[in-house]
């Protein structure tokens, strides 16, 4: 197969073009990893929803995110139970509290109280049957393994601390729930009620439901929302997305990461564009001969833009494995970088676009191509 | 009397550079004609305007005044696009340097013209490139990059690049100035063969060794045409 002229030019001048390829690669890695960090961080905010079996979440009106709920009356359960498609209904507590470390000092924590039986809709599926059995004991809790230090604990299991003045004891550890605002504390509904005394016996923060068929969920949600405007009724998927979007848009969590990515893109754009400009400017006489021979200007422009395409391709080819490796490394040190296929595809698309724009910017050097200049 | 073989004619061509006090007339009211099947030389000392004249005749440099009639068409009444297409279909050029792309092989340079200019299929391109490399004596060097070719070989590739589209008009600006005579002679012989094959070849040179290969010689001095000479040694030297 014949190699395109643009690829031959790039290979022959690889030393000249290497900085551009590295700049593009650096941009792509930074975009992918920054976005991956953002996705990983946002995913933790909605993980209690994503790892629970509930299909419908009911809370106070206009709740923007899972941690911004308010106590709601238990009586709302009847509204769900009255729906023919609904199979099961249960309450759910999610509230912030003070954690008093065994060695002194305190920390915010987030208590999640749910029913623990096998059919529970609120308990996250990371809680093993053994943990769920242990959690039935009063004061028993499970925390994330990476939060132990923050909670003032050494080994976790078997250690005790206090929440709101009540003694709690760690009976198990989960992974992947390292919260950004305060460690998650998983417990039974009974333990949660004992710790969260501000909740009345007939109050929950959320009411969860499951339908006999998941296909019925949208209709039930729509019907309940229309009939009871004082409630927020959301499918688990919508609630999860809404929670993540809240953290993305209402906080500055995405702004800093976004700005860094834009900066990386600009660096890639400038370096690639200038490299191509210089390379093209160095070949003006060769291009001028082609113009003298009547070869159309667009052919020469395509030759330059094609070089930017190969630079982009070289850059992203190096960046994807690098980003995946960084993601793997981050996992080892307890951070979470999510790199789904769509994110990698979007990164490749953005980076290739930037590379091609660089090529288009470099075309300004072709204005200097003038066949008459070849006459001496 | 009009020669039926005349393919290129310059009428009253004038060209100046600069403005106001710095204005300098480089070519002054020059008329001349070129025929198919001939290799014509434009001779003159440095600054005589021969290269500027070549530029106007070839469509690269617009005259201030005058007319260039080529293959029956007024070259400078064409739009830029039309002139570009005219050059593509009818004109070949070589310049003082070979101006080859360092990354492309000899074969690539020839292929590029046919692929990008003529848009020929690969089978036809391959056949014509192979034939041209043979004609240039570069059959075994088609795969080499310019850095691995001698100066003469590079210039032959440049000639091949201009010849491969079989132009009816061929313009050469000092094509042998950077070559020793052994290589230069080969280049001149190639151009003469091209002319005697039916093309109109116009060459700017100051190399006296080329004169005996020319069919027609125009001498210029200070931007004015002194006359057309037969290819004799005296013509070169301007001796009486």
**For residues A287-298, average pLDDT:** 90
Instruction: For residues A315 and A343, give the distance between their C-alpha atoms in angstroms, rounded to a whole number.
Output: 16
Among A178, A213, A229, which residue terminates a domain? Answer: A229
**Nearest-10 crossing angle of helices A5-12, A14-50:** 100
Instruction: For residues A88 and A80, give the distance between their C-alpha atoms in angstroms, rounded to a whole number.
Output: 9
Within a domain: A222 = yes
- State how many domains chain A has: 2
Query: Which pLDDT value is given to residue B240?
Result: 32
Mean pLDDT over the full length of chain B: 88
| Lowest-confidence pick of A43-57, A155-169, B97-111, B219-233 | B219-233
Within a domain: A256 = no
Residues A74 and A185 in one domain: yes
Residues of A in contact with B60 (CB under 8 A): 292, 371-372, 374-375
CB within 8 Å: A8 and B103: yes
Strands (E), chain A: 56-60, 72-73, 86-100, 106-114, 140-144, 160-163, 166-174, 184-188, 203-204, 206-211, 231-235
Residues of A in contact with B88 (CB under 8 A): 293-296
Among A229, A244, A277, which residue terminates a domain? Answer: A229
Within a domain: A234 = no
Instruction: For residues A182 and A20, give the distance between their C-alpha atoms in angstroms, rounded to a whole number.
Output: 43
CB within 8 Å: B93 and A293: yes
Question: How remote is the C-alpha of B72 from its chain's centroid?
Answer: 19
Residues A69 and A211 in one domain: yes
Residues A193 and A302 in one domain: no
Is pLDDT of B236 > 50? Answer: no
Mean pLDDT over the full length of chain A: 89
pLDDT in tens, A62-76: 888 888 888 999 999
Within a domain: A198 = yes
Within a domain: A242 = no
Size of interface A-B (CB pairs under 8 A): 88
pLDDT band, very low/low/confident/very high, at B4 (cuts 50, 70, 90): low
Is pLDDT of B184 > 50? Answer: yes
Query: CB contact, 8 Å: B92 with chain A?
Result: yes
Among A229, A250, A271, which residue terminates a domain? Answer: A229
Is pLDDT of A334 > 80? Answer: no
* Residue ranges of A 244-283 with Cβ closer than 8 A to chain B: 283
CB within 8 Å: B116 and A294: no
Query: Which pLDDT value is given to residue B234?
Result: 40
Query: Which pLDDT value is given to residue B233?
Result: 47
Give A12 to chain B, closest Cα distance, Å. Answer: 5
Within a domain: A353 = yes
Residues A298 and A333 in one domain: yes
Residues A218 and A75 in one domain: yes
Instruction: For residues A265 and A262, give the distance between their C-alpha atoms in angstroms, rounded to a whole number.
Output: 5
What are the contacts of B139-143 at 24+ separation with CB within 8 A? B141/B106, B142/B105, B142/B106, B142/B107, B143/B105, B143/B106, B143/B107
Residues A218 and A268 in one domain: no
Both tokens of residue A47? 């993980």
Asked if A172 and A130 touch (Cβ cutoff 8 Å), the reply is yes
Residues A72 and A216 in one domain: yes
Query: Which pLDDT value is given to residue B3?
Result: 60
Within a domain: A235 = no
pLDDT in tens, A48-60: 999 999 999 999 9
DSSP for A43-62, written as a single string: HHHHHHHHTS--SEEEEETT
Residues A30 and A126 in one domain: no
pLDDT in tens, A3-44: 899 999 999 989 989 988 998 898 899 889 888 888 888 888
Question: How remote is the C-alpha of A30 from its chain's centroid?
Answer: 15
Residues A88 and A189 in one domain: yes
List, in order, residues 6 or more apart from B68 with CB less than 8 Å away.
B8, B9, B10, B11, B13, B56, B57, B59, B74, B75, B76
Query: Which pLDDT value is given to residue B137?
Result: 87
Domain with A142 in it: 62-229
CB within 8 Å: B89 and A292: no
**For residues A337-361, average pLDDT:** 92
Instruction: For residues B170 and B190, give the distance between their C-alpha atoms in angstroms, rounded to a whole number.
Output: 12
pLDDT in tens, B62-89: 999 999 999 999 999 999 899 999 999 9
Residues A225 and A80 in one domain: yes
Give the whole-number percent of chain B exceeding pLDDT 70.
Answer: 94
Instruction: For residues B193 and B187, give the distance between their C-alpha atoms in angstroms, rounded to a whole number.
Output: 10
Instruction: For residues A354 and A316, give the distance between their C-alpha atoms in angstroms, rounded to a whole number.
Output: 11
Least CB-CB distance to B93: which of A13, A292, A376? A292
Residues A289 and A353 in one domain: yes
Looking at this predicted complex, what is its ipTM? 0.86
Give B1 to chain A, closest Cα distance, Å. Answer: 33
Residues of A in contact with B117 (CB under 8 A): 293-295
Residues A37 and A71 in one domain: no
Within a domain: A318 = yes
């Amino acid at each position: 197969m014949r190699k395109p002229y643009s690829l031959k030019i790039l290979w022959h001048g690889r030393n000249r073009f290497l900085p551009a390829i590295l700049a593009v690669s650096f941009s792509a890695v930074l975009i992918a990893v920054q976005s991956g960090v953002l996705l990983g961080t946002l995913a933790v905010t909605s993980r209690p929803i994503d790892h629970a079996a509930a299909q419908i979440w009911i809370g106070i009106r206009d709740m923007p995110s899972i941690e911004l709920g308010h106590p709601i009356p238990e009586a709302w359960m009847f509204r769900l139970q009255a729906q023919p498609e609904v199979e099961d209904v249960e309450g759910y507590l999610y509230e912030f509290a003070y954690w008093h470390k065994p060695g002194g000092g305190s920390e915010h924590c987030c208590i999640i109280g749910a029913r623990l039986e096998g059919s529970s809709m609120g308990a996250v599926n990371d809680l093993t049957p053994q943990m769920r059995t242990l959690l039935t004991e009063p004061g028993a809790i499970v925390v994330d393994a990476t939060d132990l230090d923050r909670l003032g604990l050494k080994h976790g299991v078997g250690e005790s601390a206090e929440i709101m003045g009540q003694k709690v004891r760690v009976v198990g550890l989960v992974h992947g729930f390292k919260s950004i605002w305060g460690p998650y504390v998983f417990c039974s509904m009974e333990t949660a009620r004992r710790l969260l005394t501000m909740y009345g016996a007939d109050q929950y923060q959320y009411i969860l439901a499951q339908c006999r068929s998941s296909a019925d969920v949208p209709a039930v949600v729509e019907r309940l929302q229309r009939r009871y405007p004082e409630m927020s009724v959301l499918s688990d998927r919508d609630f999860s997305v809404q929670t993540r979007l809240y953290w993305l848009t209402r906080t500055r969590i995405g702004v800093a990461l976004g700005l860094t990515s834009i900066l990386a893109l600009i660096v890639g754009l400038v370096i690639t564009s200038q490299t191509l400009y210089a390379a093209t400017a160095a070949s003006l006489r060769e291009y001028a001969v082609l113009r003298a021979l009547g070869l159309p200007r667009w052919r020469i422009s395509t030759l330059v833009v094609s070089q930017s395409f190969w630079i982009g391709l070289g850059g992203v080819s190096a960046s994807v494995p690098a980003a995946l490796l960084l993601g793997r490394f981050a996992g080892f040190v307890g951070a979470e970088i999510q790199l789904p296929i769509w994110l990698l595809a979007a990164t490749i698309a953005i980076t290739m676009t930037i590379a091609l724009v660089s090529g288009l910017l470099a075309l300004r050097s072709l204005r200097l191509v003038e066949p008459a200049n070849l006459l001496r | 009397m009009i020669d039926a073989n005349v393919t290129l004619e310059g009428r009253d061509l004038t060209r100046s550079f600069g403005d106001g006090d710095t204005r300098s007339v480089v070519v002054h009211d020059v008329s001349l004609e070129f025929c198919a099947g001939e290799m014509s030389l434009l001779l003159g000392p440095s600054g005589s305007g021969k290269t500027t004249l070549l530029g106007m005749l070839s469509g690269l440099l617009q005259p201030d005044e005058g007319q260039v009639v080529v293959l029956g068409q007024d070259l400078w009444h064409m739009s830029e696009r039309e002139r570009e297409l005219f050059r593509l279909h009818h004109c070949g050029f070589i310049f003082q340097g070979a101006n080859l792309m360092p990354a492309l092989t000899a074969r690539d340079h020839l292929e590029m013209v046919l692929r990008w200019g003529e848009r020929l299929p690969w089978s036809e391109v391959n056949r014509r490139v192979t034939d041209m490399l043979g004609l240039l004596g570069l059959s075994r060097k088609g795969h080499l990059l310019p850095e691995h070719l001698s100066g003469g070989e590079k210039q032959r590739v440049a000639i091949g690049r201009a010849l491969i589209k079989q132009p009816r008009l061929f313009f050469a600006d000092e094509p042998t100035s950077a070559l020793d005579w052994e290589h230069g002679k080969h280049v001149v012989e190639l151009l003469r063969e091209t002319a005697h094959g039916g093309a109109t070849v116009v060459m700017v040179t100051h190399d006296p060794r080329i004169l005996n290969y020319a069919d027609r010689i125009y001498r210029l001095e200070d931007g004015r045409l002194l006359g057309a000479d037969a290819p004799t040694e005296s013509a070169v030297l301007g001796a009486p």
